[in-house]
Amino acid sequence: MNEHTFGSGHYGPYGGQYVPETLMAALAEVEQAFATYFPTQEFQRELDYYLANYVGRPTPLFRADRLSAHVGGPRIYLKREDLTHTGAHKINNTVGQILLAKRMGKRRIIAETGAGQHGVATATVCALTGVDCVVYMGEEDMQRQAVNVFKMRLLGTEVRAVSAGSRTLKDAMNEALRDWVTNVRSTHYILGTVGGPHPYPLLVREFQRVIGREAKRQILEAEGRLPDVLVACVGGGSNSLGLFYEFMAERNIRKIGVEAGGLGIASGKHAARFATGRRGVFQGAQSYVLQDDAGQINPTHSVSAGLDYASIGPEHAWLHDQNLVEYTSVDDQEALDAFLLLSRLEGIIPALESAHAVAEVLKHGATYGRDALVIINVSGRGDKDVDQARKFLGTRCGI
């Protein structure tokens, strides 16, 4: 890739560091630490140790025969990030960042969380390494995700309720940035996706690339050739970029990112940034943003909390404009149908986020070609979503 995609913090017109001046030194410190430690053998060895023995990597690449037969075209593989410790890809990043924080001499960690998955993954690595942890979470989300709040507290993390704004993820992130300004000397901020100000989009991408690196090796071993299509859901964009990046030089491999279509694009209640978003600055970076004509952030909606966010990582914006990744969306109902179908066809209950990627293949997989090899990233497991799914699916399916 060229200089736009590595290191500078700019992805074409996107990215950057739109933060208060008081944070610039902190961002520079993180950038410096990453550049210094990440490439070293010692860091890589320690990271590999935790990924193998704590996270449970490599995760399997599973050939989904019944799903393939159902779709009636391509041969479909599932990359099983749902089998990682804590049940989603988020732990790949938090393990990496806690090792970085340790080298930076930081004794305190802060994070923001929406659905609670990143909060739990952060609380987990803080317990593992014995550092203090504060997670900011909107009051609304705390009510919706009470189990994850309890898990974080069980792990020894302090969960701070945010009552500002819509009392959801974006408000929690504002609060975390405010904390960081005040406590920058002692504190590292573990951001959960490939968004926010540089260097986070770069850092998180590099920690998630292990997904694609493994998948490449595994598909070559299983099939003797590279895949034709990669499919992943896109919230902030970390699991998708983690899968896609290793294949970026192979332009003939289709990469499909699936956004949350919510109640339908026409309803306005969705999180499909590439459907109706426009360029803007939000939470530290320039990217596509769902905003009104005055630049106010639009409320978003998705059945899956992890995809329910008004902006998207800046590198995705650039990949979109360059036509290097295709972006599409599926709605709540299609995701719920896929959630049910994957459960019944493969005995795998996916996260509702991941179900969006499955839904895309159910819709369009037959057009990929008969001999196509497809990899779907199952970014997480669905245990956290069973209550939600029961509400929507229970009566219809008689379960």
Ligand X SMILES: *Cc1c(COP(=O)(O)O)cnc(C)c1O
Nearest to ligand X of 171, 353 (CB atom): 353
C-alpha 61/C-alpha 284 separation (Å) is 35
Question: Does 257 contact ligand X by CB under 6 A?
Answer: no
Q: How many residues does the chain have?
A: 399
Per annotation, catalytic residue among 90, 106, 170, 384: 90
Nearest by Cα to 84 from 116, 109, 111, 50: 50
Nearest to ligand X of 240, 287 (CB atom): 240
Nearest to ligand X of 109, 204 (CB atom): 204
> What is the CB neighbour count within 10 angstroms for residue 16?
19
In the bound complex, what is the minimum distance in angstroms from residue 56's beta carbon to ligand X? Answer: 15
Per annotation, catalytic residue among 287, 302, 304, 379: 379
**Side chain identity at 270, as an amino acid letter?**
H
Nearest to ligand X of 73, 237 (CB atom): 237
Nearest to ligand X of 75, 85 (CB atom): 85
Binds ligand X by CB under 6 A, chosen from 15, 58, 236, 261: 236
Interface stretch with ligand X, choices 27-35, 159-167, 339-347, 348-356 (CB under 6 A): 348-356
CB 138 within 8 A of CB 112: no
Q: Is 112 a catalytic residue?
A: yes
CB 94 within 8 A of CB 118: yes
Residues 119-148 that bind ligand X (CB under 6 A): none
Q: Is 90 a catalytic residue?
A: yes
Q: How many helices (H) and strands (E) does the chain have?
A: 16, 14
CB 298 within 8 A of CB 291: yes
Binds ligand X by CB under 6 A, chosen from 380, 385, 389, 392: 380
Binds ligand X by CB under 6 A, chosen from 112, 353, 360, 385: 353
Spell out where the chain has E strands: 10-11, 14-15, 61-63, 75-80, 108-113, 132-138, 158-162, 187-189, 229-233, 254-260, 278-282, 285-289, 326-330, 373-378
Nearest by Cα to 83 from 110, 62, 63: 62
Interface stretch with ligand X, choices 25-33, 41-49, 351-359, 388-396 (CB under 6 A): 351-359
Question: Does 88 contact ligand X by CB under 6 A?
Answer: yes
Interface stretch with ligand X, choices 4-12, 142-150, 183-191, 231-239 (CB under 6 A): 231-239
Whose structure tokens read 């969705």?
A: 270
C-alpha 93/C-alpha 379 separation (Å) is 13
Binds ligand X by CB under 6 A, chosen from 117, 145, 157, 218: 117
CB 90 within 8 A of CB 117: yes
Binds ligand X by CB under 6 A, chosen from 91, 133, 215, 234: 234
Binds ligand X by CB under 6 A, chosen from 73, 74, 119, 235: 235
**Side chain identity at 378, as an amino acid letter?**
V
Residues 296-325 that bind ligand X (CB under 6 A): 306-307
Question: Does 219 contact ligand X by CB under 6 A?
Answer: no
Nearest to ligand X of 75, 273 (CB atom): 273
Give the pair of three-digit tokens for residue 145.
């995700």
CB 316 within 8 A of CB 257: yes
Residues with active-site annotation: 90, 112, 379
| Interacting residues toward ligand X by CB under 6 A | 88, 90, 117, 193, 233-240, 306-307, 351, 353-354, 379-380
